Structure 1
Amino acid sequence: MPLRSDPLDRLAVPDGTTVEERDLVTAGDVVVGGQSTVEFGVRGRGVVAGERVTFGGDIEAEADCRLDMWCDVAGNVLVGEDAYIGERTHIGGQLMVSGDLDIGDDVDIERGFEANGWIVIRNPMPTITFFFVYLSHLLRIGEEEAAQDAANELLSDDEGDESEGEESDADVDDADAPTGPAPLVIPRGASVSDDAWRVSTPAFVGDDCRIHGNLRAASLDVGEDNNVFGSLRAKGDITVGEGTRIHGDVTTRKGTVRIAPGAEVLGDVACEDLSLHDDAAVDGAIRARGEMSIVREFAREIE
């Protein structure tokens, strides 16, 4: 899954992400932009949240967990390594940390906390720290170029840039670049729930995912062999990948809907233009205001 220089410019759901009961589960990290609402609990390698993010369940992080100020977690926070909890954050259950704990002022933990390492009480999560967390995620999945672009944007605002020819800390040799599962990225101001995933940005869903909720975005690219228990709606283009099943309608105001071979839409399709593979299936009505074509070849276009 390619990422650009702004890691929060779209909803990005990596391969294999599932909704299990009330938890959103992914193999990689979870990155949530500020002022978002995630009504699920989340489970991933690491969890990073901006300011004023609300979680409706537990947080389980195999590695680090970083919550910026004014976050609200309805359940427990279980952390396999270190935790960084910003000031005025509320945790409705227990905070259990296997490593060190940095905790800000006026943090409310209803059922107490325990840390096996050092405990430091302060405000550990300024905006600059959150920015560098983004860079670490980019480097972990091998996006050195995107990380360098983001670092250059930050350094251009500082006093004095790096001298020409001096090696930057963000420079990583391609052969030694770390790799790992792509992060689940939820952009700033998003709302994610069992009813609907609402973002004002484009949205990308990888392969082999199981998603509960209607997807609402500027545009939608849904990969292969997914099960989406809800409808798709976008202002722009919508792509439904091979073998994916949509348990609802597919609707776009002005864009093109492209449906791959083996895909199935258990609802209506409404769009400007439609490209439908002859091995795809639509159980409901089809309304295309512009051109409608039945195709035998399909190439998925990924930004």
Structure 2
Amino acid sequence: MQEKDVLPDENTVPEHAQQERLVFKGCILPDRTELQERILKAPGDVIVGEHSRIEYGISGYDVFIAESCYLKGDVIAEGDLRIGNFCDIDGNLVCDCDAFIGEGVTIRGRLSVTGNLDIGDNVMIEKGFDARGIIEVRNPMPVILYILLYVLTMLRIDHEEEIDQFIENLTAEDANPLILPSRSHLDEFQLLVQTPIIIGSSCRLHGLIRGDKATIGDNTTLFGSIRARDSVSVSRGAIIHGNVEAENDVVIEENVRILGNVEGHRVTMDEDATVEGVIKSSGGLTIQRKKI
């Protein structure tokens, strides 16, 4: 007899966890995101979900790090900075506006805040701090709840369906936070998440990208491979210096260049796309030709 996973009743799931699910529907790397040698640089806001391990620094406008995360590198916020309870930051924190540091946070570098500082109990700062505004010692709101309010306030919405629609359009020019969902793992070798991945246009990334399914935007360059449990779509002009693998569909648009192999159940590619390796497709290969 096969064992079956028992899913918890929706009513028994803690409200905190349900709220988190509403926000973290996917991994979003918006247009012009760059994974540099030591830092993940975003053009706008950054949201990192709980229990994530990020072995890079992070740079963005407003930066929200949820509870129990580990980051190896400097965290730089041009706007506000919120660090959740019991995070471990192996680097400096630099904030040009207001900073909110949760209870039990460890900062293994220096904390520099241009604006006000709210700081929780039992925070350890190894190399001291500098805050030019008002300093208050109190436990700030949990970051995951603040992230929820951030999304709802920004969109003025209160239904899950509308949040889903928002997530699908996150790479739009006027709403483009970078989102790493809960339990994300990012190091020099790979980005691993348990959700779909949306990568915007004109990004520069490296390493193996792994998720439920992946969408790569126009003119993005990836020095690595893509592996998805469902499907992969590579938009026009993208360059992949590695393999593209999916259990279901792989779609390759015009002027895409893939330097490695392509493997999927069904592969559809434009006639102007280039695959320099081997194409494996148990369900068939379709070449899309332009109508004359």
Structure 1 match to 2:123: 107
Structure 1 match to 2:288: 295
Query: Which amino acid is the alignment partner of residue 190 of structure 1?
Result: S
Structure 2 match to 1:274: 267
Structure 2 match to 1:75: 91
Q: CA deviation at 1:296?
A: 2.4
Distance 1:229 1:181 in 2: 26
Q: Secondary structure, in 3 states, of the residue corresponding to 2:159? A: helix
Alignment partner of 2:242 out of 248, 262, 267:
248
Structure 2 match to 1:184: 178
Query: Which amino acid is the alignment partner of residue 87 of structure 1?
Result: E
Query: Which amino acid is the alignment partner of residue 290 of structure 1?
Result: G
Q: CA deviation at 1:9?
A: 1.1
Structure 2 match to 1:301: none
Q: Secondary structure, in 3 states, of the residue corresponding to 1:258? A: strand
Number of aligned pairs?
A: 262
Structure 2 match to 1:238: 232
Q: CA deviation at 1:192?
A: 1.1
Contact 1:272 1:288 in 2 (8 A): yes
Cα offsets for 1:238-284 (capped at 9, x unmatched): 0001000011111112x100000000111001110000110000010
Distance 1:131 1:152 in 2: 18
1:88 and 1:246, CA in 2 relative to 1: closer, same or farther beyond 3 A? Answer: same
Structure 2 match to 1:208: 202
Distance 2:54 2:152 in 1: 22
Distance 1:138 1:229 in 2: 36
Distance 1:250 1:132 in 2: 37
Q: What is the 5 A alignment of 1:14-163?
A: 14-126=30-142, 130-137=144-151, 139-140=153-154, 143-144=155-156, 147-149=157-159
- Structure 2 unmatched runs, 5+: 1-20, 164-172
RMSD of aligned Cα (Å): 2.0
Q: Secondary structure, in 3 states, of the residue corresponding to 2:158? A: helix
- TM-score normalized by the length of structure 2: 0.85
Q: Secondary structure, in 3 states, of the residue corresponding to 1:15? A: coil
Distance 2:149 2:136 in 1: 24
Contact 1:135 1:150 in 2 (8 A): no
- Structure 1 unmatched runs, 5+: 154-178, 299-303
Distance 1:150 1:109 in 2: 38
Cα offsets for 1:104-140 (capped at 9, x unmatched): 11111000011111111121133xx632333324654
Distance 2:70 2:80 in 1: 18
Structure 2 match to 1:8: 24
Q: Secondary structure, in 3 states, of the residue corresponding to 1:134? A: helix
Contact 1:62 1:80 in 2 (8 A): yes
Q: Secondary structure, in 3 states, of the residue corresponding to 2:218? A: coil
Query: Which amino acid is the alignment partner of residue 82 of structure 2?
Result: R
Contact 1:275 1:292 in 2 (8 A): yes
Query: Which amino acid is the alignment partner of residue 18 of structure 1?
Result: E
- TM-score normalized by the length of structure 1: 0.82
Q: CA deviation at 1:152?
A: 11
Q: Secondary structure, in 3 states, of the residue corresponding to 2:250? A: strand
Q: Percent identity among equivalent residues?
A: 36
Distance 1:15 1:63 in 2: 19
